[in-house]
Amino acid sequence: MFTLVIAALAIAVLYLYTSRHYKYWEQRGIKHDKPLPFVGNNIQFYLMQKSVTQIAENVYWKYPNEKVVGFYRASMPELVIRDPDIIKRVLITDFGYFYPRGINHKTVVEPLMRNLFFADGDLWRLLRQRMTPAFTSGKLKAMFPLIVERAEKLQARLAKSAAAGRSLDARDLMARYTTDFIGACGFGLDADSLNEEDSAFRKLGAKIFKFTLRDIFVGMLKEMFPDTFKHLKYLARLEEEFIQFVREILKHRIANPSNRNDFIDLMLECQRKGTIKGESIEKVKSDGTPELTSLELDDILIAAQVFVFFAAGFETSSSATSYTLHQLAYNPQVQKKVQEEIDRVLAKHDNKLSYDAIKEMEYLEWTFKEGMRMFPSLGFLIRKSARKYTFPEINLPIDEDIVVIIPVQALHNDPQYFENPDEFRPERFHPDNFKNIHKFVYLPFGDGPRSCIGERLGVMQSLAGLAAVLSRFTVEPAADTKRHPTVDPKSDIVQCITDGLPLLFSERKCI
* Strand ranges of the sheet holding 68-73, from the earlier edge strand across to the other edge: 68-73, 76-81, 403-406, 381-384
Rounded CA gap, 230 and 222, in Å? Answer: 6
Give the dihedral sign, CA 231/232/235/239.
Answer: positive
CATH class of 2-507: mainly alpha
Rounded CA Rg of the chain = 24
CA nearest neighbour of 73 among 29, 33, 101: 33
Name the burial class of residue 165, with classes exposed (0-12), middle (13-18) and buried (19+) by CB atoms within 10 angstroms of its CB: exposed
Give the dihedral sign, CA 455/158/338/436.
Answer: negative
SS3 of 135-169: the string is HCHHHHHHHHHHHHHHHHHHHHHHHHHHHHCCCEE
H helices then E strands: how many in the chain? Answer: 19, 11
Q: What is the pLDDT of residue 3?
A: 65
Q: What is the pLDDT of residue 197?
A: 63
Q: What is the pLDDT of residue 202?
A: 64
Total residue length of the chain: 511
Q: What is the pLDDT of residue 19?
A: 66
Is 450:99 a contact under the CB 8 Å cutoff?
A: yes
Name the burial class of residue 421, with classes exposed (0-12), middle (13-18) and buried (19+) by CB atoms within 10 angstroms of its CB: middle
Query: Structural domain boundaries of the chain?
Result: 2-507
Rounded CA gap, 164 and 412, in Å? Answer: 38
CA nearest neighbour of 494 among 319, 369, 305: 319
Q: What is the pLDDT along the chain (511 residues), one digit of tens a residue?
A: 656 656 565 566 565 566 678 999 999 999 999 999 888 999 999 888 999 999 999 999 999 999 999 999 988 999 999 999 999 999 999 999 999 998 887 888 888 889 889 999 999 999 998 888 777 778 778 888 888 888 888 998 898 888 888 889 999 889 888 888 888 777 777 766 666 666 666 666 666 666 677 777 777 777 777 777 777 777 777 788 888 888 888 888 888 777 766 778 878 888 888 888 888 888 888 887 888 999 888 888 988 988 888 777 677 888 999 999 999 999 999 999 999 999 999 999 999 999 999 999 999 999 999 999 999 999 999 999 999 999 999 999 999 999 999 999 999 999 999 999 999 999 999 999 998 889 999 999 999 999 988 888 889 989 999 999 999 999 999 999 999 999 988 888 888 888 889 999 999 975 5
CA trace torsion 277, 278, 279, 280 (10° rounding): -60
Which helix (H) or strand (E) covers residue 72, if one does?
A: strand 68-73
CA nearest neighbour of 380 among 333, 318, 444, 326: 444
pLDDT digits (tens, 9 = 90+) for 230-276: 777 777 777 888 888 888 888 888 887 777 667 788 788 888 888 88
Fill in the DSSP letter of residue 420.
S
Is 408:380 a contact under the CB 8 Å cutoff?
A: yes
Rounded CA gap, 470 and 466, in Å? Answer: 6
Q: What is the pLDDT of residue 254?
A: 83
The neighbour count for residue 405, using CB atoms within 10 Å, is: 23
Rounded CA gap, 59 and 80, in Å? Answer: 8
The whole-model pTM stands at 0.90
- Phi, psi (5° rounding) for residue 356? -70, -35
Q: What is the pLDDT of residue 420?
A: 96
SS3 of 341-385: the string is HHHHHHHHCCCCCCHHHHHHCHHHHHHHHHHHHHCCCCCCEEEEC
